[in-house]
């Protein structure tokens, strides 16, 4: 008795796909939250709760909420990298969907974060975070 292997049509979900999906959900949620009340919530950042200092990601939620409602100045003031990260999420989601449609592997997250532009943006973001933390002291 011989058994034949059937080709499988399913494949493992890549970390890039999970990250893109989470980013799209977060961006979608930003449209549901009210910009008038986004400052009223509790501090949810563990780093800020422990130290009283803002982390690199502090203000991103507020930034996305403001940006999604067209409050550009408030969005940039909350965290100027909010718009950059929102654009990255959209670009990553488009790349993942494109790969799915073409039945090709999604972009490699390891390769994406090693590109010079990604490294420069991350360095600028961390530099901004350090300056903001120093000024907050």
pLDDT by residue, tens only, the chain of 137 residues: 555 655 555 667 888 999 999 999 999 999 999 999 888 878 888 988 898 888 888 899 999 999 999 999 999 999 999 999 999 999 999 999 999 999 999 999 889 999 999 999 999 999 999 999 898 88
Q: Distance (Å, rounded) from C-alpha 9 to C-alpha 80? A: 42
Q: Look up residue 99 and give its two tokens.
A: 């790969």
Size of the chain in residues? 137
| Cα atoms found within 13 Å of the Cα of residue 70, Cβ hemisphere only | 0
Closest C-alpha to 62, from 42, 32, 35, 31: 35
Q: Give the HSE-up count for residue 60: Cα atoms under 13 Å, Cβ half-sphere.
A: 19
* pTM of the shown model: 0.82
């Amino acid at each position: 008795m011989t058994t034949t292997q059937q080709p499988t049509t399913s494949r493992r979900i890549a970390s890039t796909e999970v990250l893109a999906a989470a980013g799209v959900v977060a961006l979608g949620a930003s449209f549901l939250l009210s910009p008038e009340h986004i400052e009223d919530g509790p501090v949810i950042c563990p780093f800020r709760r422990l130290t009283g200092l803002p982390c690199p990601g502090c203000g991103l939620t507020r930034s996305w909420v403001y940006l999604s409602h067209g409050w550009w100045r408030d969005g940039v003031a909350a965290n100027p990298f909010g718009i950059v990260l929102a654009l990255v999420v959209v670009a990553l989601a488009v790349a993942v969907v494109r790969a799915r449609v073409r039945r090709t592997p999604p972009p490699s997250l390891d390769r994406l974060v090693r590109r010079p532009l990604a490294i420069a943006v991350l360095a600028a973001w961390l530099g901004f975070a350090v300056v903001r933390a120093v000024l907050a002291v």
